[in-house]
Amino acid sequence: MTIKQQLELALRQSVASTSAASGGQQTHDRDKKLDAAIKTEIAVYESSGKRGCSLEKAYHYLLTVPPMSVEAERAFSAAGVLCTKLRNRLGNATLDTLCFLHA
């Protein structure tokens, strides 16, 4: 997927999750507006090389995502302790439960 496609997918998922409780017609209208906004932002960026307001916000938001998380590293470490060569056939649900109990 290109960056453009990934951005469009992420924006659509975000709007879909926040507007799931609203009516179908409202969601359809919002999707049309979102599509138009995305196309406008991408066209401005492609023509001038400058990011529009919304694209700039998305860019700064993506810059603030930490490259790694200590919590995730702890979870992988705990799973590594529990999932050894002797216990290599544990299912995902079983391993998840064991990690929960271990914590």
Predicted TM-score (pTM) of the model is: 0.36
* pLDDT the model gives residue 22: 54
Q: If we measure between CA atoms, which residue out of 38, 41, 40, 15 comes closest to residue 28? A: 15
* pLDDT the model gives residue 58: 80
Token digits of residue 78: 């705990």
Residues of the chain with pLDDT under 50: none
* pLDDT the model gives residue 4: 77
9 alpha-carbon distance from chain centroid: 9
Cβ atoms of 83 and 90 closer than 8 Å: yes
* pLDDT the model gives residue 10: 77
